[in-house]
Amino acid sequence: MAFDRYMATCNPLRYPEVMIKAAYVPMAASSWAAGSTTVMMQTSLAMQLPFCGDNVINHFTCEILAILKLVCADISINIISMAVANVIFLGVPVLFIFFSYVFIIATILRIPSAEGRKKTFSTCSAHLTVVLIFYRTILFMYGKPKSKDPLGADKQDLADKLTSLFYGVVTPMLNPIIYSLTNKEAKAAVRNLVTRKRFTQ
């Protein structure tokens, strides 16, 4: 999406010839392949570890961090592999998105009319909103240091559960809403709904 917005904003005349099926299908496929590979690697590493206690996962899902808390052995290999995966699958895309938006904002600022700048930025605002919501929660979950929480382990576990729920459920639910708000018809429908509620109250 960042590349799509970059092409639409910075190279609009070349957009139809660059953003064709032969370009976006490999990007989507490589994204799925990369995600599947890292998940399989983390799962296979976790399956080789000995577990202790009653093996009840204190989480909504089989989140890798919650599973590693049940291990009775050294998990340094898992932590190192997770750190490498975080750099590759979180850090690199964030840098790519950041530099795409640097070029996009530079292009928008060169547009002479305020109306043109507003219209161009509105095409990117939905994607930027989704990226900020998603990456903030992901980076909070996987990028924070694993120090002792002064509020206690139970509150830390609850915060991890809610963060995981947010990026796994809430963010995907918000995607259609955020993207549809850039559509004129959807904006008009929301405006009509809000004004109708005001009049009925």
Q: What is the pLDDT of residues 84-141, one digit of tens each?
A: 888 888 888 889 989 998 999 999 888 888 888 888 887 787 778 888 887 777 777 7
Distance CA 122, CA 77 (A): 44
The answer, yes or no, to whether residue 33 has pLDDT greater than 50, is yes
Q: What is the pTM of this model?
A: 0.70
- pLDDT, one tens digit per residue, over 109-125 is 888 888 888 888 877 87
The answer, yes or no, to whether residue 148 has pLDDT greater than 50, is no
Distance CA 57, CA 63 (A): 9
78 in Cβ contact with 182 (< 8 Å): no
Distance CA 78, CA 50 (A): 13
12: tokens are 């609009």
Greatest alpha-carbon pair distance for the chain in Å reads 66
Q: What is the mean pLDDT of the chain?
A: 80
